[in-house]
Structure 1
């Protein structure tokens, strides 16, 4: 198939050196290694991870890199798989063959987490070049464990472990190895002037700090053989005070290249702040400059990471010489067929990642990742779209995420679908979320699903309030109620302060430009209260945020939370943790500490904004029971939850019709 002329660089092949051989890549799109929690620390690769990778291969990616695999038993992360057992080799042989059968190359990532692991997993002490507490991300609840300083014997043992793991990777049929030397794992710890305070041959000078990495590279080549790829993933900037900065990253890349062993350098970012997995507040492609500096300094091919979510961005990076390959991780989680769609000129059909980081939030909680936009991700074997046995007339009430996904899948299965939405525009609460500063990418819900409705022939009726009379008049075979939820404002007796919800504020239903002092109450511990604070502080309001939790937005992914906290604190928003409203007297709000019960008056409040728990809007469902034989209640109308849950509801229900 001839690739779209719009992406001539993106879909040009690349002959990647593989030791003394070559590895032919069909295009420049790589799925980088990432933690899925689809595997266990001790078992072989699962059918679930196999289907996950295979779907991406079928979608057109040129190369897939696995999640990090531990090279030593004491190197452990929550779900870090192992290559040590023979069953893993046997399973990987089958997986490698199936992925190559789709035209995709397959690399394994090898790693030792060093001081970034947790002794809670196996009770053993962590190992690191120096006994220094990690500073990877102090917001993480696991941060702060002090490791044991490695002696020379343990260094030799771990270098040897990389060699053994590489040999087993070769037996397992991988096309090569990527060495993980980023995000403050062990190799990065040795390279870092912040983490490596040794005074022997492995510390001190730049050359000494690079010694361990170069020994690992040599050991991996010895174990892997001379006909497979060796890449290394490094940070283009750790964004840590005293850590590896952009200039030092260039020196590191050149020093690693000087071994004459490497075939590829993969440039990421972080682990400082939110750079490692950039949330929606980071503009797509905004970390490209890190790989650009390294590519101009080395002759080896450079693979660039960090929020490359669109083929146009990837094409620009390749055309301008910023990188030779592009890593598209969350982008291909959201749409594994993105490469094929771009190649075929179907760009408007791509389902873009919105960088909500729900996938990362689940990973941080130690549960399998999932994607807000793509309910099938991680459920590939169980969520096939099969033709309906009987074609039905399906009436869906509600054009939010749940109703839209239900309409999409039901239409794909061959049903005649009509979607009713009471407002003028599809998207539901995603439209409101997109009004918050830095969260404009949530408009992708409207863009993607609107286009899908057109392509699939779904009849869409906006500005249409459905009643039981409407249902009776239309006479569908199936009704799906996706009417969402409402946010009660509540009330405070004795108060004269105006009260509104976050939805009312962000949607513009209430004009907040004339309020001087606004109090926001975080009751559901999502990002909503902080988003409202971000929005209102741009209107020159004095904003205070009360939360009964230890910190606001406690259920928000850490990288996202760190960025929005930074945004609101820089705008002088006052955050009062462990605090609720005791009473309101006129325009004075009496705040109370939920533990000490100490009360603090906050005078001259003009507006209270509640970020409270929503209530299901399910009245139409109950009045429609009995009108048709097949009726479903989905999304927030079933129970108010996150958008990821609403879309999953829609996806599952459509498969039942």
Structure 2
């Protein structure tokens, strides 16, 4: 196999861009946008769905082979045959049209969560105070509630609700639907001995699957696609009711033998608690599920196509899995969230311009916090429906001060609008504080976010002036029409007294400072509880230092997203770190940090070589006033220079600052969801 083949670049012998028949439909390529939640309110009757449709429109604009919508929670029919989802008809018809306009095959994923979480958490169907429905009266492992064991009549009502949902899907023009049978939801619960303890006919593991797929096939006919998301690994030990990988493959094979399933979409995990693995961050390897996928495909022996999933980030990775016969088509959902243009860029020889997913997982973590998805470094995600492109503007000379996330984003966007752009950066490299992450931690993958922008800046002809300190003289004499201040932030003084016998440094200086000691004894004082503290602690552990993490929060990593938080403490302890929660540092004197437990009031003296303070920072905005005194110049202050926050906000603000300068070529992006869909 040549390097060109492996790149999945659309060449004649590329498998990735070959058509694939699925149940009478021809996929234009083998790339799939799998179903994923964009927003818990995407189907809410209280909203019009415009935000989700704008997001979906942009996501599919690169022309994938198959696209699935966010899952619809399926309700049972009411006692008198009521079906509450008909209000979704217009919204689903528009979604089908959006997907079909790109040449893709369109599916709707359907789901019932069963005994998961707590009752009343679905914005799609009004809640009447009833309990969660499941096969047995067991407690959710992600909440305190015990579910209700469905009666035979209630099971029939649910089957009928699913059939009516399928009818609605076909009425709206979709090519079929998918059943979400993973992650511990109802269909997964039906095969699990932990959640299905029935002794009637519905206690047989595949009884509900067979009844449901038979009912749906009668509705869908032979031409519509019925896809099944099915687990290949439960991540649950046998003593806790877990099924072996081999058992799951046999169940999948038995399900396929019914003849009702056209496509299998594998998954891993049997609970929301498994999301750090099910939707892995940069801490998980690329192609994380592919061993299980390949084993399932071998067991099914070509009976139906099998989808490859699990952090497949690049088209080269996708092509490799196809070439090795591990799957028949490839899910690249987060790759498209990061860059919806990944396929057209690759097919036109511009693969080096792709903005790759870096596994920050802001998308899934925001969704899990019941808000809409955004992306760590694609600033437009979730905002597509309301973005207005820059209007016509004369060509300007733009000065950007600072080459961190905000400054690079501003410079690149301004240059794309046709302006002449200079960046002045006092450091010898671009990237700001993100660039301080080193290869001793898997978080180094995040650095690609700023490296991508640095490459784009150079490719577009932005003039980079590194190792140069900006001052008021530069502002006065530069001859610029617009100035973007992305000067970042500086550490605040330590929030405790110190006699300077131990250096107290900020996160960006921690690794270099610790290296001076060989093996250093480091106290990480984490006052924020976010990604910054987690990453710096893991870097120090990875470099072999002795680490104590002290935080005043009730738990370490209190403000991490769910896919980072769920196993953060486990990672720290496995790396040999000590952890002190509800603990504050009182002072650092004579080479000792005095730490006090807020609950017991007990104080301990901890000898240390270095203290790393993860705390509030101070905006570096000293150039703002001199810049604003130049009345003929547009001035923007973005990123930490405006207010110290997370990197994602810097990418957003920087991009918007560049876009606000207007387009020197007279370009205007679509301003509404409808215009975007029609563009």
TM-score of the superposed pair, with normalisation by structure 2: 0.89
Q: 1:493 to 1:456 in 2, by over 3 A?
A: closer
The aligned counterpart of 1:164 is 164
The aligned counterpart of 1:138 is none
Instruction: Indicate conservation of the 8 Å contact 1:189/1:195, yes or no.
Output: yes
The answer to whether residue 444 in structure 2 is matched with residue 440 in structure 1 is yes
Q: 1:252 to 1:489 in 2, by over 3 A?
A: farther
The answer to whether residue 526 in structure 2 is matched with residue 522 in structure 1 is yes
The aligned counterpart of 1:49 is 52
Instruction: Indicate conservation of the 8 Å contact 1:50/1:95, yes or no.
Output: yes
The answer to whether residue 429 in structure 2 is matched with residue 425 in structure 1 is yes
Q: Any residues of structure 2 matched to 1:460-475 within 5 Å, and which? A: 460-475=464-479
Q: 1:512 to 1:274 in 2, by over 3 A?
A: farther
The answer to whether residue 505 in structure 2 is matched with residue 500 in structure 1 is yes
Q: Find the aligned partners of 1:213 and 1:602 in 2 and give their Cα distance.
A: 60
SS of equivalent to 1:236: strand
Q: 1:145 to 1:468 in 2, by over 3 A?
A: same
The aligned counterpart of 2:676 is none
Q: Find the aligned partners of 2:35 and 2:189 in 1 and give their Cα distance.
A: 19
Residues 580-627 of structure 1 show CA distances to partners (whole Å, capped at 9, x for unaligned) of 01234423332222344x122133222221111121111122232212
SS of equivalent to 1:95: helix
Q: Find the aligned partners of 2:487 and 2:541 in 1 and give their Cα distance.
A: 31
SS of equivalent to 1:381: helix
Instruction: Indicate conservation of the 8 Å contact 1:165/1:223, yes or no.
Output: no
Instruction: Indicate conservation of the 8 Å contact 1:515/1:606, yes or no.
Output: no
Instruction: Indicate conservation of the 8 Å contact 1:44/1:87, yes or no.
Output: no
Q: CA deviation at 1:495?
A: 6.7
Residues 634-655 of structure 1 show CA distances to partners (whole Å, capped at 9, x for unaligned) of 0011001111100110121122
Q: 1:3 to 1:365 in 2, by over 3 A?
A: closer
Q: Find the aligned partners of 1:528 and 1:54 in 2 and give their Cα distance.
A: 33
Q: Find the aligned partners of 1:427 and 1:231 in 2 and give their Cα distance.
A: 43
The answer to whether residue 28 in structure 2 is matched with residue 26 in structure 1 is yes
Q: Any residues of structure 2 matched to 1:446-595 within 5 Å, and which? A: 446-490=450-494, 491-493=496-498, 496-506=501-511, 508-595=512-599
Instruction: Indicate conservation of the 8 Å contact 1:70/1:83, yes or no.
Output: no
Q: Find the aligned partners of 1:161 and 1:129 in 2 and give their Cα distance.
A: 17
SS of equivalent to 2:504: strand
Note the residue ranges of structure 1 that are not aligned, 5 or more in a row. 76-81, 136-141
The answer to whether residue 37 in structure 2 is matched with residue 35 in structure 1 is yes
Q: 1:212 to 1:44 in 2, by over 3 A?
A: farther
Q: CA deviation at 1:73?
A: 6.0
Q: Any residues of structure 2 matched to 1:626-637 within 5 Å, and which? A: 626-627=629-630, 628-637=632-641
Q: Any residues of structure 2 matched to 1:117-156 within 5 Å, and which? A: 117-121=117-121, 122=127, 123-135=129-141, 143-156=143-156
Instruction: Indicate conservation of the 8 Å contact 2:180/2:228, yes or no.
Output: yes
Q: 1:184 to 1:531 in 2, by over 3 A?
A: same
The aligned counterpart of 1:78 is none
The answer to whether residue 256 in structure 2 is matched with residue 257 in structure 1 is yes
The aligned counterpart of 2:191 is 191
Q: 1:447 to 1:503 in 2, by over 3 A?
A: closer
Q: Compare 527-536 and 228-237 and name the one that shifted more.
A: 527-536
Q: Over aligned residues, Cα RMSD in angstroms?
A: 2.2
The answer to whether residue 385 in structure 2 is matched with residue 381 in structure 1 is yes
Given candidates 636, 639, 645, the residue that maps to 1:641 is: 645
Q: Find the aligned partners of 2:25 and 2:236 in 1 and give their Cα distance.
A: 36
Q: 1:313 to 1:635 in 2, by over 3 A?
A: same
Q: Any residues of structure 2 matched to 1:592-611 within 5 Å, and which? A: 592-596=596-600, 598-611=601-614
Instruction: Indicate conservation of the 8 Å contact 1:44/1:91, yes or no.
Output: no
Q: CA deviation at 1:84?
A: 4.0
Given candidates 326, 329, 332, the residue that maps to 1:325 is: 329
Q: 1:493 to 1:412 in 2, by over 3 A?
A: closer
Q: Find the aligned partners of 2:347 and 2:145 in 1 and give their Cα distance.
A: 47
SS of equivalent to 2:250: helix
The aligned counterpart of 2:216 is 220
SS of equivalent to 2:22: strand
Residues 436-482 of structure 1 show CA distances to partners (whole Å, capped at 9, x for unaligned) of 61112112123311221133221111111111112222210000000
Q: Find the aligned partners of 2:309 and 2:321 in 1 and give their Cα distance.
A: 11
Residues 230-271 of structure 1 show CA distances to partners (whole Å, capped at 9, x for unaligned) of 001012112122323322221122011011011100012124
Q: Find the aligned partners of 1:515 and 1:559 in 2 and give their Cα distance.
A: 30
SS of equivalent to 1:118: coil
Q: Find the aligned partners of 1:492 and 1:467 in 2 and give their Cα distance.
A: 33
Q: Find the aligned partners of 1:547 and 1:531 in 2 and give their Cα distance.
A: 15
SS of equivalent to 2:604: strand
Q: 1:644 to 1:366 in 2, by over 3 A?
A: same
Q: 1:616 to 1:199 in 2, by over 3 A?
A: same
Q: Find the aligned partners of 1:84 and 1:581 in 2 and give their Cα distance.
A: 56
Q: 1:83 to 1:70 in 2, by over 3 A?
A: farther
Q: Any residues of structure 2 matched to 1:60-139 within 5 Å, and which? A: 60-72=63-75, 84-121=84-121, 122=127, 123-135=129-141
Q: CA deviation at 1:161?
A: 1.4
Q: Find the aligned partners of 1:556 and 1:401 in 2 and give their Cα distance.
A: 20
The answer to whether residue 264 in structure 2 is matched with residue 268 in structure 1 is no
Tell me the matched-pair count: 634
Given candidates 352, 357, 362, the residue that maps to 2:356 is: 352
Instruction: Indicate conservation of the 8 Å contact 1:436/1:531, yes or no.
Output: no
TM-score of the superposed pair, with normalisation by structure 1: 0.92
Q: CA deviation at 1:517?
A: 2.4
Q: CA deviation at 1:213?
A: 1.2
The aligned counterpart of 1:200 is 200
Instruction: Indicate conservation of the 8 Å contact 2:438/2:539, yes or no.
Output: no
Q: CA deviation at 1:422?
A: 1.4
Instruction: Indicate conservation of the 8 Å contact 2:85/2:165, yes or no.
Output: no
Q: Find the aligned partners of 2:151 and 2:431 in 1 and give their Cα distance.
A: 58
Q: Any residues of structure 2 matched to 1:381-420 within 5 Å, and which? A: 381-386=385-390, 388-420=392-424
SS of equivalent to 1:251: helix
Q: Find the aligned partners of 1:66 and 1:117 in 2 and give their Cα distance.
A: 22
Q: CA deviation at 1:489?
A: 4.8
Q: CA deviation at 1:97?
A: 2.2
Q: 1:308 to 1:28 in 2, by over 3 A?
A: same
SS of equivalent to 2:201: coil
Q: CA deviation at 1:133?
A: 2.4
Q: 1:351 to 1:405 in 2, by over 3 A?
A: same
SS of equivalent to 2:566: helix
Q: CA deviation at 1:5?
A: 2.4
SS of equivalent to 1:11: coil
Q: Find the aligned partners of 1:310 and 1:144 in 2 and give their Cα distance.
A: 40
Q: CA deviation at 1:294?
A: 0.7
Q: Find the aligned partners of 2:537 and 2:553 in 1 and give their Cα distance.
A: 17
Q: Find the aligned partners of 1:384 and 1:152 in 2 and give their Cα distance.
A: 53
Q: Find the aligned partners of 1:520 and 1:338 in 2 and give their Cα distance.
A: 39
Residues 127-166 of structure 1 show CA distances to partners (whole Å, capped at 9, x for unaligned) of 111222233xxxxxx5343211222222222122111111
